[in-house]
Structure 1
Amino acid sequence: MSTEQGKKRSVFQNYKLLIFLIAGIVTGSIVGLIFKEKAVVLKPFGQIFLNLMFTAVVPLVFFSLASSVAKMSNMKRLGKILKHTILIFIITGIIASIVIITIVTIIPPASGVDISFGEYEKPEQLNVLDQIVEALTVGDFNEILSKGALLPLIIFAITLGYCIRFVSKDNESNVAIDFLDIMSQAFMKMINLIMLYAPIGLGAYFAALVGEFGTELLGAYSKAVLMFYPICIVYFLIAFTGYAYFAGGITGIKVFYKNIFPSVVTSLATQSSIATLPTNLAASKRMGVKEDISNIILPLGATIHMDGTALTTLMKIAFLFGIFGLDFTGIGVWTTAILISVMSGVVMSGIPSGGMLGSLIIVGFYGFNPEVIPVIVTIGLLTDAIATMINSTGDVVVGMMVSRTVDGKEWIENSEFIQEQS
């Protein structure tokens, strides 16, 4: 087999699930257009898929997060690098969120769309402090085992993982950590099995949706997706150029664009921040980022730094607000949306089908009709490749910025690797 044939097969393997999912959705949409209202009979096959995901999501999130935190060790040595990294992660995520909010406020992605998913029952209005309590906690343990309480579950899982790590810090082979890890892997496997049914389930669901709502739904998708790709490209060119300039002035910009494109291509081809990690490590070295910085930031960024995910999440929220005729304006609305987008990027990035779980958080938090989940999941599928590119390349430019804050303004000029190349 030639190298080129191997690359083509590798790309197909990376995109195989996406190809099948889109094929199922397209087939279902065609069936809906042909058979119209009669296609609604297929809806139960789609509901089966949603029910399976609903059943698995709570234990998956709990065991994945608790296991990840419980296995952490030697956190003290991260020191100054970790502090600057987290701060910059948050700042860049907020900037990405503000950019997309500005655009979708000016050009609502679902404007003019007339699709009915039932009446939206707005949750009871509470003051700010009560809203925080309702969003982050529940009143009883059994309530945390609900798909509508994913944010409290996330906090509980992280806290439990930390406590297990704390009480077992001198025992690396603790039975509780081993149990969490095994259960995490088991539920990840379960999600992978459920996803085998996804092309059929989503295809059936879309046959029913298109049969009921017709071309109105397809037109809404086209607008949202056509908006998103230019947004990501412009964000990459403007924001990352600004970040590179902050990191190293004009030299920083030159170094960034000279070395970043292998990471761009790899992330688009693999749709995985983890798979792009080796390419990012090599790119960071060529940019002069020290290994003690890149070896911390890039693996960490591959799991919790998700500017592209923040962009996608806010597009989904704005889209749902449009469908339900809600006003996506106001500091309170925007602040809540930003917090949800950052949470989705940080927490769901390391979980299989994290985009779908992020969609569950959106629907559960706002109290939308669960039937809209396949709609916003599909937006995520269609925009995942370029969102992953923003996620992965963003890790590299963060490494440059942390180098500037940790090693000083002259870090590029002082880099031994850069000096060897000049």
Structure 2
Amino acid sequence: MGAFLKNYGNIIWLLAGIIAGSVLGLVLGPRVTVLKPIGDIFLNLLFTAVIPLVFFAIASAIANVDRTQKLGRVMSVMVMVFVGTVLVAAFLTIVAIWLFPIHQQVSAQPGVTENIQALSLGEQITALLTTNEFFELLSRKSMLPLIIFSVMIGFAVLRAGDAGEPFRRFLNSGNEVMKSLIILIMKLGPIGLGAYFAYQVGILGPQLFGLYARSMALYYGFCLFYFVVLFSVYAFIAGGIAGIKRYWKNNVVPSLTAVGTCSSIATIPANLDAAKKMGVPDHISNIVIPLGGTLHKDGSSVSSIVKIAVVFAMFGRSLSGADTILLALGITVIVSMVEGGVPNGAYIGELLMVSVYGFPPEALPPAMIIGTLVDPMATLLNATGDTVAAMMVTRFVKRKAESGKQKAIEAVV
């Protein structure tokens, strides 16, 4: 019982706050607006802390890369597999949302829809990638430019060599401080999210529950399909029918570990053991599994799309159009690769979504609530997807090696 509370304590407290807020919203109705400032304070703290957190987390991670290591065959194939499966998960989720819409009979929140600014595709791309002033990087509306700037700073530290060592230590120290700060702020999550949920229930009424219920039914139903069917497809690609049998025979322990700990990182030892039994060589599993724990998250990809769909529904927008879909796919890839090394890292994706699509701050709490509700299933897909990814990397690396040998033979002949 103690281990369960340790692993799920934060989720339980957040759910308790949401439930308490729901009751207050139903009882007080429109009068619940007096609680909105409490939610605003929580959001403001989160918005201000996440900017330096993202900078220090990303810049320090790149600055600490071993400069003697070079991207080899395993790394290049691994990146392709990680990005490919994340995009497949995101696109199939979008298709599922088109087939089973969650926005029926949901009206936009009053007083906020008109604040959404419509931009052309070119303007969206420009605003998505850059700012024309340094100080604008410090705004929550410039999340992706900040991420790009952080990556460049990290590589600049690497390039500076020994001269950049003091700055690298500064980045490491700042990263630890900001992680501690975000943990402290999230302790206010049950109160802050509870107040905002009370406000939403009081204003929107019972239809809000229908929106969350439909989104959760879609999410868990699709994730179960993805877990059973798509992971089997990936295992088949890696090793045919025998690959499917090897994968599912050895995936039980990692699956139970993921659900029990609610942590992809905690599942790494079970995944390493399972990958070996699945026929993945040590030199591949020792790279793919640990990096997959932080960079490869199919479950987070699915939840990212569902969050976007819910927010679009609440603000009366349609999840359609090439530019909207491409931005959604881009957000999922960034979230998958960034959130692993950051406490409550999924909130970075939610902030990025609010920024890219031009939603007001009121769009953040619904996405955070969805993130809380989907966490166990997301962790299951995130963690167990790493072993089947390692199987595919093994298959593709061998194929690439065989192709290289064949070309060498033909060159000699």
Q: Give, in whole Å, the separation in 1 of the partners of 2:67 and 2:238.
A: 28
Counterpart secondary structure, 1:288: coil
Partner of 2:297: 306
Q: Which residue of 309, 314, 325 maps to 2:316?
A: 325
Q: Superposition pairs for residues 60-209 of structure 1, below 5 Å? A: 60-74=53-67, 76-117=69-110, 118-128=112-122, 130-168=123-161, 174-209=165-200
Structure 1 residue 132, shift from structure 2 partner? 2.2
1:106-134 deviations in whole A, cap 9, x for unaligned?
22222211241522444353353x43222
Q: Give, in whole Å, the separation in 2 of the partners of 1:403 and 1:322.
A: 41
Is 2:222 the partner of 1:228?
no
Q: Give, in whole Å, the separation in 1 of the partners of 2:67 and 2:160.
A: 14
Q: Superposition pairs for residues 246-325 of structure 1, below 5 Å? A: 246-325=237-316
Q: Superposition pairs for residues 206-217 of structure 1, below 5 Å? A: 206-217=197-208
Is 2:341 the partner of 1:350?
yes
Counterpart secondary structure, 2:69: helix
Contact 2:298 2:382 in 1 (8 A): yes
Structure 1 residue 267, shift from structure 2 partner? 1.0
Structure 1 residue 380, shift from structure 2 partner? 0.7
Q: Give, in whole Å, the separation in 1 of the partners of 2:166 and 2:401.
A: 48
Give the TM-score taking structure 1 as reference length: 0.91
Contact 1:21 1:202 in 2 (8 A): yes
1:373–1:122 CA distance, 2 compared to 1 (3 A): closer
Q: Give, in whole Å, the separation in 2 of the partners of 1:114 and 1:133.
A: 31
Q: Which residue of 16, 39, 60 maps to 2:9?
A: 16
Q: How many residues align?
A: 401
1:342–1:194 CA distance, 2 compared to 1 (3 A): same
Counterpart of 2:253, as a letter, is P
Mean Cα deviation higher: 14-23 or 320-329 = 320-329
Counterpart secondary structure, 1:76: coil
1:73–1:410 CA distance, 2 compared to 1 (3 A): closer
Contact 1:108 1:322 in 2 (8 A): no
Structure 1 residue 152, shift from structure 2 partner? 0.4
Partner of 1:419: none
Q: Which residue of 377, 380, 389 maps to 1:389?
A: 380
1:376–1:75 CA distance, 2 compared to 1 (3 A): farther
Q: Give, in whole Å, the separation in 2 of the partners of 1:274 and 1:403.
A: 22
Q: Give, in whole Å, the separation in 2 of the partners of 1:216 and 1:297.
A: 44
1:120-177 deviations in whole A, cap 9, x for unaligned?
444353353x432221111011111101100000010011011102212x58x92111
Structure 1 residue 330, shift from structure 2 partner? 2.5
Give the TM-score taking structure 2 as reference length: 0.93
Counterpart secondary structure, 2:55: helix
Structure 1 residue 357, shift from structure 2 partner? 2.0
Q: Give, in whole Å, the separation in 1 of the partners of 2:270 and 2:401.
A: 25
Counterpart of 2:45, as a letter, is L
Partner of 1:418: none
1:201–1:122 CA distance, 2 compared to 1 (3 A): closer
Structure 1 residue 93, shift from structure 2 partner? 1.1
Q: Give, in whole Å, the separation in 1 of the partners of 2:340 and 2:255.
A: 18
For structure 1, the 5+ residue unaligned runs are: 1-7, 412-422
1:165–1:410 CA distance, 2 compared to 1 (3 A): closer
Percent identity, please.
40
1:75–1:339 CA distance, 2 compared to 1 (3 A): farther
> How big is the alpha-carbon RMSD for the aligned residues of Structure 1 and Structure 2?
1.8
Counterpart of 1:123, as a letter, is Q
1:59-104 deviations in whole A, cap 9, x for unaligned?
0000010011100114634400000000111111111111101011
Counterpart secondary structure, 1:174: helix
Partner of 1:32: 25
After the TM superposition, which parts of structure 1 deviate over 4 Å for at least 4 consecutive aligned residues? 408-411
Q: Give, in whole Å, the separation in 1 of the partners of 2:202 and 2:126.
A: 41
Contact 1:309 1:344 in 2 (8 A): yes
Counterpart of 1:178, as a letter, is R
Q: Which residue of 233, 258, 278 maps to 1:242?
A: 233
Counterpart secondary structure, 1:111: coil
Mean Cα deviation higher: 118-127 or 336-345 = 118-127
Counterpart of 1:94, as a letter, is L
Q: Give, in whole Å, the separation in 2 of the partners of 1:42 and 1:211.
A: 10
1:15–1:347 CA distance, 2 compared to 1 (3 A): same
Partner of 2:405: none
For structure 2, the 5+ residue unaligned runs are: 403-413
Q: Give, in whole Å, the separation in 2 of the partners of 1:335 and 1:289.
A: 34
1:325–1:404 CA distance, 2 compared to 1 (3 A): same
Contact 2:39 2:193 in 1 (8 A): yes
Q: Give, in whole Å, the separation in 1 of the partners of 2:358 and 2:78.
A: 34
